[in-house]
Amino acid sequence: MNTNMKAFGIVIIASQLALADASYQSSFQFTGGALVDSLRSNPLSARMARPLLAPIVTLTMVHGNQKAVVTKESTEIIDLDKGTITRIDTARKTYSVMTFDQMLQAMKDLPQQMEQAQQQMQQAQEQMKQAQSQLPQTDLKVSFDVAVKDTGVAKVINGLNARERVLTMQARVTDPNAPRPRQSTPSPM
């Protein structure tokens, strides 16, 4: 998003705040617990979890019979006079408008759609079971070769002495029931 678009968005929100009968801002954030601790302790998941653990700021504005809920990713506008709900996805730059009647019909259709989805899942599971029963049974054997090599490199990291070691692991999977390849004999010329 370029600077002009950001400035335009700020002007729109500021003008809406000026016209709003009431507005408030709320923030939500996961700050602790076993899940958060486990995500932060692993370097790989910590990087991916950072956006999930960031605060979620929501601005809610009410003006007459209209309510707007604005977040970083989206805006939802409920207009009681028009009977519509407008959802704007700022990340994808798309929007959708649904009337209250359409939402009511979707809620009425939901149980039937859920039942159809369950039937489709059961059919898919039955097909998977049939396909698996047709596969030949195998007795796979798995073995691992693990080696640790000390590279001799030593550093002080965060006040702790650390040594570099390279871990190499190989997995071998064999099937004793697999057909043996035929050995070809050279033909005389």
Looking at 47, 80, 103, which one is the last position of a domain? 103
87 lies in the same domain as 170: no
Residue 184 in any domain: the answer is: no
Mean pLDDT of 119-138: 84
H or E element in which residue 171 lies? strand 160-174
* Cβ-contact 20, 12 below 8 angstroms: no
Instruction: Return the higher-pLDDT residue of 2 and 112.
Output: 112
What lies within 8 Å, CB to CB, of 14 at 6+ separation is none
Mean pLDDT of 121-144: 83
Mean pLDDT of the chain: 82
As for how many domains the chain has, the answer is: 2
3-state secondary structure of 119: helix
Residue 187 in any domain: the answer is: no
Q: pLDDT band for 1, please (50, 70, 90 cuts).
A: very low
Residue 67 in any domain: the answer is: yes
Show the domain range for 169: 141-174
